Every structure is written in C-alpha cells, then in structure tokens.
Amino acid sequence: MMIFKHAFLNLIRSKSRNSLILLIMMVIALTATIALTIQTSTESLINSTLDNIQIEATIQVDREKIFASMTDLTQQQRNELLRSIPSPSLEDYELYATHPAVNAFLVTQSTALNGLDVTPVDISDSTTTIKTNGEFKLLGYDSAASMTDFTSGTATVIDGMMFDLSLASHEVIIHQSLALLNDLQVNDTLTFTNPRNPDESISLTISGIYTTSTTATDSTSPLNDASNRLLVSTATLNAVIANSVLLNPEELSSNGILMSKALTKTTTATYAFNSMADYERFTQEVENLGLDTTIYSVTSSNLSAFEASVQPLNQISQTSLSFLALTLGVGLGLLVLFQLFITKQRQYDIGVYAAIGLKKIKIGALLVMESLMLTSVAIVIGVSLGLFLTPTVTDSLLGDAIAQAQIEQSAIDQNFSRPGQGNNAPVVTNVDYVSSLDVSIDLQTLLTLMGLGLVMSGLSSSVGVFSVARFEPLQILSERG
C-alpha cells in the first residue's frame, strides 16, 4: 500500500514529465486498439463467411504446368498439343465425386458453335478469336435436377415450353436477350456452324424462351455471355457431336498428331464443399483417386471471387499491423530514453530512499508501480479513443484500398488489352469488393492490449530498476553533490 501511495504522489509531483510519457503510451494504446480491432474484425468476417459459403470447384486443364514443359515447341504446336489433351471422362468425374469431402456433385456438358443466321449478344470489342473459339455455348442436360437455375427460380421459361430431356429432338430454349436481338419466336429454326469447319451446319428449333433474374452479360467474349447459352437435352448434344465426328475424320497435323475438326464435348463437373477444410482436403487427396495433377488442377471460381473481394480488407489489416509494429518500436525506444533521462534526474530521490533504509527491491517496485499506473491510464484513454476512431479510420483506409485495387485491376486489364479497357476507359472491375467492416473489440483484443501494456511498462521500467541496482546510496548522493 505504501508503494502504491508513494508512486501516486510521485506521479502527481512530476506532472509535466509524466504527461509526456503518458502521451507516448496513449499513442501506442490508440494505434494498437485500431490495428488489432481491424485485424480481428477482418479475421472474424472472413472466417464467418467461409463457414457459411458453399465452395464450388471444378477440375480443369492446368495450362501453366503444361506450358512449362513446352518451351521447345512453337505456339502452333502448343495449341495442337493442348487440343489433343482429353478432359476427364464422365466416369472419372463420378469417381472423384466419391471422395468423402464432396457434399454435392453436378455435371454439365457443352460444345461451342458459331451462328449462321443468328447474331450473338456481344458487349465486348473482341473480334479476332470469336469465330475460332465459338460464339454460342450449347449446353446439354439430362435431368431437371441438373438445371439448377430453373430449380432455384433464377431462370424461368416465359414463352413456349421446356424440351423433352430424354429425346434427341434438336429442340432448344434460348435467352430472352438473344430472342429480342434477333427477333426470334418459338418454333423458329436456327442454323449454326462448327467453329473449326464453317461448312458443317447444325439446325435447332426453338421450343421455348427463358429469362433470368440476374444480369446475363459478360464483357470478355460472346461465348462466356450467359445470354448466348443454348439449352438442349444431353441426347441432342450427343447427336450433334456424333454427327460432327462423322463429317470430320481425323487428319495428321504438322506436329504429327492425329487431329479432327469435329465438335468436341466439354464435360464440366462441379463439386460442392461445406467448408474450406473439405475443399483443401479434396484438392490434396483427389490424386489418390486417379487425377493426374501434372495436367489437371482443382479450382474454385466463387472462392477466388471471395478472396478477391476481401483483398482490400487484408491490405488495411496488414497496413495497420505494420504501422503498429513501427509505433511499438519507436515508442519503446522513446520510453527507454525517457526512462534513462528520468532515472538520472531522480538519482538523488533514489539515494534518499536507499539511505533511509528502503531496500533496492522496493525502490524498483516503486518505479515499476509508477510505470504500471501510467500504462493503465494510457490504456483506458487509448482504448476509448480507439473505439471511437476505429470506424472512421477503417472506412477511410478501406476506401483508399478499394480505389487502389480498382486502379491495379484496370492496369492489368489494359496490359492484357481486355475489352472496354482502353487508355481512356474508366476504372472497371468485376470484383465486388467488401466495402464495409463491422468493427468491434473483443475480450481477446483487450487481453492483447493489456499484455502489450505490461510488456512496454516492464521494459521501460526495467531501465530504472537496473540503474538502481548498480549504485550504492552514498555513491548516488555524492554524484548528486
């Protein structure tokens, strides 16, 4: 009790000196509160979102890995070799779906077509690769359950009727945007061509027109635009592919590979996972089920989109923690210097305490108590100010981070000459960035702040304690004289 009383009186007597120390500790506490609150709130948002999101993944050819082994081939040879790599079979996809981490499994099959008497919905400026890659995506379905947009209510047939899922009827349902663009109606016949063989034509009859509740546009190419999806039965798709194979026999390419201009069927399997842990487990263990990971890789578009959306949050979290580290380093250095200066000034007082019989351990305890009292006041004030200022600071930092991310994305788009990203184009990005953060302080953050305070207090006061331990009372008093 005596130590507490004397420590309090010493602080009162030296207001100006202790006010400066208090200010430094307050700045440290304020910075720590803002940084740790942003960091914990960001982690909480990311973890809670990942707990509630159903991660969807697909298996695709890993072009980067393949290109890495093709350094001695020409571009044409690389393209031909890529085309010769088969996609996993439906049986393979079904085998991978037996992994215990998979919660749901959906298969879609498609091929690409060009329009002969129908114009695709196109909001891009791309003209060179459209005819080669195709303008329309012909999607085959064998069950109502696989047509998730319709079962969920996202898509609805507004004219005509759905085709028979069990027949190769060559009937198709098209998007309302495509129908309006080409003035098409139910029972009209559409003619398409093979992108690699314009002489091969495919005829389909419109059985229905559908609309979607979400915007069906894509600025990269018509093939990727949802408005240009042609929905048919799997039986119709298989019939179109089989006829194309008959019309386009294999020929020997310049690379010595047997190639065909026939339409190819792309099978896309979508695997759903309940958690990030399940997704990571699948990517690590699917090789045991036979997937060649030197050619194929598991990717998740919605996970990638989520990671991109929280990029600004991660950026401000890292920035605030870096600033906190800088503040801690500079603040601790200043506290140590001040403590050395103050201990030198208080040598006479310390000598008097020692001369009247106060043991060195109690003198050290007195100095530590003074530091703890200052630290406690600094934490209370710093945390209070931090809680008040954190929302404003977070909004400001997050706004700057989002703007910077959009500028960087725009620069990348310009480097790749993506559509709509000319030199005079505005900043455009398809990433839906998280633009707000609900910041709050929790018990863990408070305990961390208290821990930081104790460490800072202990390190700074230890300088005075060590100084006291080095001198004898008479030596201290003689130096004062």
Q: Note the pLDDT of residue 406.
A: 74
Q: What are the tens digits of pLDDT across the range 192-249? A: 999 989 999 999 999 999 998 865 455 567 888 889 999 999 999 999 999 999 999 8
d(CA 392, CA 387): 10
Q: Note the pLDDT of residue 201.
A: 94
Asked if residue 292 lies in contact with residue 277, where contact means CB atoms within 8 angstroms, the answer is: no
b/e burial code for range 101-136 (CB count within 10 A of at least 16 → b) = bbeeebbbbbbbbbbeebebbbebebeeebeebbbb
Q: Note the pLDDT of residue 439.
A: 79
Output the six-digit token pair for 212: 């979607």
User: DSSP string covering 162-175, please?
Assistant: PPPTTS---EEEEE
Which residues of the chain fall below pLDDT 50? 128-129, 216, 416-429
Among 114, 113, 228, 119, CA closest to 182: 119
Asked if residue 110 lies in contact with residue 237, where contact means CB atoms within 8 angstroms, the answer is: yes
Residue 256 has a CB neighbour count (10 Å cut-off) of 8
Residue 301 three-state SS = helix
* Amino acid at site 407: I
Phi and psi, residue 169, nearest 5°: -85, -5
Asked if residue 361 lies in contact with residue 283, where contact means CB atoms within 8 angstroms, the answer is: no
Query: Model's pTM, two decimal places?
Result: 0.60
Q: What are the tens digits of pLDDT across the range 364-421? A: 777 777 778 888 888 888 888 888 888 888 888 888 877 877 777 666 556 544 444 4
DSSP tally for the chain: helices H, then strands E: 16, 12
Q: Note the pLDDT of residue 159.
A: 95
Q: Note the pLDDT of residue 421.
A: 40
Q: Note the pLDDT of residue 448.
A: 83
Q: Note the pLDDT of residue 236.
A: 96
Q: Note the pLDDT of residue 205.
A: 96
Give the N- to C-terminal CA distance of the chain in Å, as an integer: 32
d(CA 458, CA 470): 18
Residue 243 has a CB neighbour count (10 Å cut-off) of 14
Q: What are the tens digits of pLDDT across the range 247-260? A: 998 887 666 677 78
Q: How far is CA 9 from CA 4, 12, 315, 346, in A?
A: 9, 5, 45, 14
Asked if residue 309 lies in contact with residue 432, where contact means CB atoms within 8 angstroms, the answer is: yes
What does the angle CA 161 – CA 166 – CA 167 come to, to the nearest 5 degrees?
A: 80
